[in-house]
Amino acid sequence: MIDTYAVIGNPISHSKSPLIHSEFSKQTQQHIRYETILSPLNGFTTAIEIFRQGGGKGLNVTLPFKVEAYKISTQLTEQASSSHAVNTIVFDGDKIYGDNTDGTGLIRDITVNLRFAITAKRVLLCGAGGAARGIVLPLLKQNPLILTISNRTTQKAHELRKQFSSYKNIESGNYKDILGKEFDLIINATSTSLINKSLPLPQGIFSAKSLVYDLMYGNMNTPFLQFARKEGATHLSDGIGMLVEQAAESFFIWRGIRPETKPVIKMLRKKTQNDMRNK
C-alpha cells in the first residue's frame, strides 16, 4: 500500500503543499500519495481521526488548526512547544508526534538560499502573533547580536520575549521604540501583507545592505516591501523559499530524505508570477 499524507486546513484549495510534495516525491522517487483535507472549523479532531484510521501516515497542518494540532499531539519537539503550534504530524500507533518546521524553513531560506548569515546581526522581528512565535527560537539559535521584537500591541511583544528569558540578546517593544535604530535583517511576521496594510515603521531602520523579508509569498509589492524599497533597501525577499523549505523539512521528517529545494522554488516562483498576472 502506498503511504498516504495530507495537508489539512480551512480553506485548503489555495494550498501549494500538494504541488510541492508531488515535486519532492518525483525527484526522490518516493512513491507517496498526498491529499488535501478540508476540515470543518469545529471538526479538526474528527477529521484527523478519520485520516489516521484510514492508514494515513502524517499530516501538514495549516490555518487555522496549528494550535489545535499542538494541543492534540502526544509528543512535541522543542520547536513545536516553543511555537505553541504544530504544522507537521507523524502518526505512530497511538502516538501523535507534533513538530513545527516553519522556523527551520525560514532559517534555511535566509542562510542557505539567500546566503545571509544571521549570527552577530541586528534582527528586527515585526509581529508577536502565531507566525512570529514560530520563528523566535530558530532565530535565537543563530546567535544574533540582538533580536528586537516589535508589535503594535506592546504587551504582546513583551509576553513573547519573556518566553525566551534565558536568552540575553532579546528585547521587545512597539514600533516607536525602534526609532533611531538600524537593523541588518528585518522580518515581517504580521498579517498586514495579507490585507494590504502598511506597518507603522519609522524611517531610517533599513540600510542598503539590510535583508528585508516578508513571510507572505507571491507578492513582492506588499506595502512593507514597498516601504523598505523607498527607504533604500535593495535586498528583498518574499516567503516563497520558506514555504518550500518548511515542506522539505516535513518531507525529511516523514521519509528520511531531504529533497532538492532550488528547482521547486524556481518552479513555484514562476507559477505564482503567472497566477498574479492572470488575476
Binding site for ligand ATR (CB under 6 A): 127-132, 151-153, 156, 190-192, 197, 199
Show Cβ contacts of residue 167 under 8 Å, excluding neighbours closer than 6 positions.
140, 147
Find the shortest distance in angstroms from Cβ 151 to ligand ATR: 5
Backbone angles phi, psi at 246, to 5 degrees: -65, -35
Distances (CA, A) of 223 to 196, 198, 214, 226, 241: 6, 5, 10, 5, 20
Name the residue nearer to ligand ATR (CB basis): 89 or 131: 131
Nine-digit cell at 97?
508526534
* Cβ proximity of 256 and 29 under 8 Å: no
Q: Which of 66, 156, 176, 262 is catalytic?
A: 66
Residue 9, classed as helix, strand or coil, is strand
* Cβ proximity of 236 and 220 under 8 Å: yes
* Cβ proximity of 22 and 49 under 8 Å: no
Q: Which residue is nearest to ligand ATR (CB)?
A: 129
Find the shortest distance in angstroms from Cβ 11 to ligand ATR: 15
Find the shortest distance in angstroms from Cβ 188 to ligand ATR: 9
Name the residue nearer to ligand ATR (CB basis): 130 or 202: 130
Find the shortest distance in angstroms from Cβ 194 to ligand ATR: 8
Name the residue nearer to ligand ATR (CB basis): 107 or 132: 132
Examine the residue annotation and report whether 168 is marked as an active-site residue of this protein.
no
* Cβ proximity of 139 and 105 under 8 Å: no
Name the residue nearer to ligand ATR (CB basis): 7 or 90: 7
The residues annotated as belonging to the active site are 66
